[in-house]
Amino acid sequence: MNNLVRGQSFGAVIGVALMLVVFSLIDFSGWWRSSTLSNVVHFTAILGLVAMGQALVIMTKEIDLSVGSVYGLTGVAFITLEPKLGVPGSVLAALAIAATVGLLQGLLVVKGKLPSMIVTLGGLFTARGLIYVWTGGTVQNFSEAARGNWFTRLLGGEWFGVEAAIFWMIGLCIALNVMLWGTRFGNQLLATGGSFDSAESRGVRTGRVKVVTFMLCSLLAGFAGILTLADKPQSHVTLGELMELEAIAAAVIGGCLLSGGRGSLVGAVLGAFIITSFRYELIALGAPSSWFITFVGVVLIVAVIFNQNLARRAGHSV
Amino acid sequence: MMLKSRILAATALVAMALPGLSIAQDGEKLRFVVVSHIGSNDPNMNWLTMAMDEFEKKYPDVDAEYISTNNYSVQEHVRLLEQAIATRPDGIAVPIVSPDAFEGPLRRAIESGIPVVAFNIPDGRPTEDRIPYLTYVGGDEFLTGKRLGEYALEQVEAGAIPAPTGVVCASHDSAHEGLKQRCAGMREVMEGAGAKFEELFIGAEPATARNTLQSFLSANTDTNYIFTVAGWSSPWAWGVANDMGLKPDVDNEGITVLTVDEGPVSIEGVRNNHILATNSQGFWLQGYAPLEWLYWNTKFGYAPQQDILTGPIVINKDNAENWAELVRNVFGEEAYNQQNTW
């Protein structure tokens, strides 16, 4: 119990529990319907993947504002390159593009000694601009053969009646947690964000850690874009717009501190779950859907205060 | 008599040649700027830019520029408008997306002698209050929603689709006056028929829009009509309803989807029986006619005495084939097929 309370995702766990109690009290029959949960969990899986990447970057004391545009660019690449490369080829090429964006941004931050907020803000505009240029502003579609391709179904179909994206998110969450908490690289990542000077003095190649983390973040955002379009293969230039803000909010609600070195991937997914659930329930209760942004803002501020208090109690300086 | 005729003919020739002569002497072309909210993410931009190309061919003494924003922000649109005014063009065509936001810059432009034609979206306020532009060229957004709603009720009478019980107007921009008017037109008809009506802001990001609409349909089970106020979001609405098992194809059960625009997505939606009807508001004319009026006003002082409505026309299963042929000719076969996201 003590470990749970001291855990980075404790705030998000409390948030989810509170939310479920309140939603059950005010809209039990609506909230606990299978169609509701399926809708919420499916979108949580997509946002959760992007939020996990964001959480990793925040743990290194950086931020990535480009994830929404990278999500869109990778999705557009997946659809546009398919006629030439086939489905598996276009997935690989699209992911390579995502990784390249992450690599370039990471190098600019580390080698150029530039603030990640500025570099990735540039990345946000550049990637979005590339989407406009590449598509000519028009929507794009998958052929019937590509829609029915086994690999497309593996990414965007259903497994045992459940959306494939949910399994992908769970699998990647487990793998990334193992990486973060069970490997040398994960330890170096946390050390880089937690105490940069100390990590450097112990021989951690902090620059390389940050570059790899930026690449991981872009890859996760890109993969989420591919999963979305494999499920509904219609690209649009607005794909992923403002998703970076929801991803950052999810990571912060999930326990990531912008001061670095502390965070939780499970918490980021729970943060995504809270954001998606709020959107659903506000609409279900008849509130104008534009109120959602206001609620995210309020929840975000409450979460930051709560998580900082938790961190202080656990003896971290924030 | 002969001499008189010759003098008249010579005078007419001189009169016709004078404007061209003055331009030739100035060595400068007229420059008209279209400051649009229809960005390169909207296939309808093709209609406007193609019409402008035709205008430039007919009037080689004019440069027509198209400036747009892709992110549906009124503030960004106003910024582009102010930038355009600062370049002192000879005329401006602009949709009045937000009368309040556009009033200041446009009044200043008009007072400084730049003629303005509103296109696509008018200033919806009473004539005495509205921005004093030359004229409005475009569809009537309220009529767009109203005519489509009326067509739907005709189909209900004919037994082709279920009577409306709940109608949701799915909008991607909560600040867009034209979209609000489309919803308002549909609201008038549907509430008149006894149906519940809701306006839902779904945003323009596909996954978020689907998530929002699915949430709404789950919570409002009496909704059986979806009106998407952009053609490109109609497959999202149909897809959500289909995934939820709500039978969104056009028949006498389940959900009925209506949309707008004469783009490939809307027309193919009608042809494939996914969409009951869409509309045309004469986009090509909206690109061409404002420039022509600006030209005639600048050269000869012409000013239309009333607004020029270019639509709406309902596109349904009876005329969708003809529209598909027309739009294929405008967009080209490859682009048409590529943009058909059904």
Summarize the confidence of residues B88-112 as an average pLDDT: 95
Summarize the confidence of residues B36-45 as an average pLDDT: 79
pLDDT score at B81? 95
Nearest CA to B58 out of B243, B310, B304, B289 is that of B289
Nearest CA to A314 out of A9, A60, A8 is that of A8
pLDDT score at A76? 93
Q: Phi and psi (nearest 5°) for B173?
A: -145, 110
Contacts of B342 in chain A (CB under 8 A): 141
Q: Which residues pair with A162 in a beta bridge?
A: A159
Q: Phi and psi (nearest 5°) for B117?
A: -120, 130
Chain B closest-CA separation from residue A262 CA (Å): 29
ipTM comes to 0.78
SS3 B60: coil
- 10 Å CB burial of residue B267 (0-12, 13-18, 19+) is buried
Nearest CA to B231 out of A28, A96, A138 is that of A138
Q: Rounded to whole angstroms, how far apart are CA atoms A31 and B192?
A: 32
DSSP annotation of B205: -
pLDDT score at B10? 45
Residues 6+ apart with CB under 8 A from B47: B262, B283, B284, B286, B287, B330
Q: How far is CA A218 from CA A99, A109, A129, A211, in A?
A: 6, 14, 17, 11
Q: How many CB atoms lie within 10 A of CB A162?
A: 12
Q: How far is CA A33 from CA A38, A40, A160, B218, B226, in A?
A: 9, 11, 19, 9, 22
Q: Report the residue of chain A nearest B171, measured CA to CA.
A: A289
pTM beyond 0.90, yes or no: no
Mean pLDDT (chain B, rounded): 88
Residues 6+ apart with CB under 8 A from B220: B166, B168, B198
pLDDT score at A318? 58
- Residue stretches of chain A with pLDDT short of 70: 1-7, 137, 289-290, 314-318
Nearest CA to B290 out of B133, B140, B154, B145 is that of B133
Contacts of B215 in chain A (CB under 8 A): 36, 39, 279-280, 283-284
- Please name the residue that has the structure tokens 């995504």: A272
Q: Rounded to whole angstroms, how far apart are CA atoms B42 and B310?
A: 19
- Please name the residue that has the structure tokens 């019980």: B165
pLDDT score at A180? 94
pLDDT score at A222? 97
Q: Phi and psi (nearest 5°) for B313?
A: -120, 130
Q: Phi and psi (nearest 5°) for B73?
A: -100, 125
Q: Report the residue of chain B nearest A72, measured CA to CA.
A: B205
What is the pLDDT confidence band of residue B4, given thresholds at 50, 70 and 90? very low
Say what percent of chain B tops pLDDT 70: 91
Contacts of B265 in chain A (CB under 8 A): 139
Return the higher-pLDDT residue of B40 and A60: A60
Contacts of B201 in chain A (CB under 8 A): 288-290
Work out the end-to-end distance of chain B between its first and last CA atoms, rounded to an integer number of angstroms.
70
Sheet of strand B225-228, all strands in order from the earlier edge strand to the far edge: B196-201, B166-171, B225-228, B256-258
Chain A closest-CA separation from residue B106 CA (Å): 28
Say what percent of chain B tops pLDDT 90: 65
Contact B152, B230 (CB under 8 A): no
Query: Ranked by mean pLDDT, which of A25-29, A69-73, B68-72, B327-331 comes out on top?
Result: A69-73
DSSP annotation of B33: E
Q: Is A31 left (phi over 0), alpha (psi -120 to 50) or beta?
A: alpha
Query: A236, A278, A291: which to substitute to probe chain B, counting the most B Cβ within 10 Å?
Result: A236
Task: Kindly tell me if the per-residue pLDDT of B12 is higher than 50.
Answer: no
Contacts of A234 in chain B (CB under 8 A): 206, 235-236, 341
Return the higher-pLDDT residue of A262 and B253: B253
Q: Which residues pair with B35 in a beta bridge?
A: B67
pLDDT score at A294? 82
Q: Report the residue of chain A nearest B338, measured CA to CA.
A: A140
Q: How far is CA A200 from CA A62, A156, A205, in A?
A: 16, 42, 7
Contact B339 A138 (CB under 8 A): yes
What number of CA atoms fall less than 13 Å from residue A57's CA on the CB side? 34
pLDDT score at B226? 98
**Token pair recorded at residue B9:** 């003919």
Residues 6+ apart with CB under 8 A from A230: A78, A152, A153, A155, A156, A157, A164
Query: B42, B341, B342: which to substitute to probe chain A, counting the most A Cβ within 10 Å?
Result: B341
Q: Rounded to whole angstroms, how far apart are CA atoms B44 and B31?
A: 23
Contact B40 A132 (CB under 8 A): yes
Chain A positions contacting chain B at CB under 8 Å are 30, 33, 35-36, 39, 43, 46, 132, 136-141, 228, 232, 234, 236-243, 276, 279-280, 283-286, 288-290
Which of B174, B204, B207 lies at the smallest CB-CB distance from A43?
A: B207
Residues 6+ apart with CB under 8 A from B147: B185, B279, B312, B314
Q: How many CB atoms lie within 10 A of CB A115?
A: 12
Q: Rounded to whole angstroms, how far apart are CA atoms B71 and A183?
A: 43
Chain B closest-CA separation from residue A267 CA (Å): 21
pLDDT score at B16? 41
- Please name the residue that has the structure tokens 């149906």: B195
- 10 Å CB burial of residue A77 (0-12, 13-18, 19+) is buried
Q: Report the residue of chain A nearest B237, measured CA to CA.
A: A232
**Token pair recorded at residue B219:** 């919570």
Return the higher-pLDDT residue of B195 and B75: B195
Q: Rounded to whole angstroms, how far apart are CA atoms B281 and B261?
A: 7
Q: Rounded to whole angstroms, how far apart are CA atoms A274 and A282?
A: 12
Q: Rounded to whole angstroms, how far apart are CA atoms B117 and B96?
A: 10
Contacts of B214 in chain A (CB under 8 A): 39
Which of A232, A239, A280 lies at the smallest CB-CB distance from B205?
A: A239
pLDDT in tens, B162-180: 999 999 999 987 777 789 9
pLDDT score at A298? 85
pLDDT score at A3? 60
pLDDT score at A210? 97
pLDDT score at B27? 59
Tell me whether the omega of the peptide bond preceding residue B312 falls within 30 degrees of 0, making it cis. yes
Contact B181, B220 (CB under 8 A): no
pLDDT in tens, B76-89: 899 999 999 999 99
Contacts of B272 in chain A (CB under 8 A): none
Chain B closest-CA separation from residue A39 CA (Å): 7
Task: Kindly tell me if the per-residue pLDDT of B147 is higher than 80.
Answer: yes
pLDDT score at B235? 93
What one-character-per-residue DSSP string does A260-305 give? SS---HHHHHHHHHHHHHHHHHHHHTT--TTHHHHHHHHHHHHHHH
pLDDT score at B23? 44
